[in-house]
Amino acid sequence: MASSGRRLYRPRHGRWIAGVCAGLGERFGLPAWLVRLLFLLSCLLPGPQFIIYIVLWIMIPEQ
């Protein structure tokens, strides 16, 4: 259970594609632009970033 009382969800407003980065930023108290920037920078590294994004898109409920 989250100690801060914030739930993880994809917001209806302020999202660009699916709201995954905006939802993660809201949940962890970070600005959405920072989470988006970190995601874009992570795409420069090898790994399954896009697959993880799609899985989170499916698993995280909408607000």
pTM: 0.79
Task: Please calculate the CA angle 58-10-57 and round it to the nearest 5 degrees.
Answer: 20
Classify residue 2 as exposed, middle or buried by CB count within 10 Å of its CB (0-12, 13-18, 19+).
exposed
The band of 1, judged by pLDDT with boundaries at 50, 70 and 90, is very low
Q: What mean pLDDT is predicted for residues 7-13? A: 88
* Residue that wins the pLDDT comparison between 5 and 44: 44
pLDDT, position 5: 60
In a domain, 37, yes or no: yes
Residue 15 located in a structural domain = no
Provide the domain limits for residue 33.
20-59
Q: What are the contacts of 11-16 at 24+ separation with CB within 8 A?
A: 11/63, 12/62, 12/63
* Overall number of domains in the chain: 1
Q: Residue 10 domain-assigned?
A: no
Output the six-digit token pair for 36: 């988006």
Read off the pLDDT band of 28 (50, 70, 90): very high
Give yes or no for residue 2 having a pLDDT over 70: no
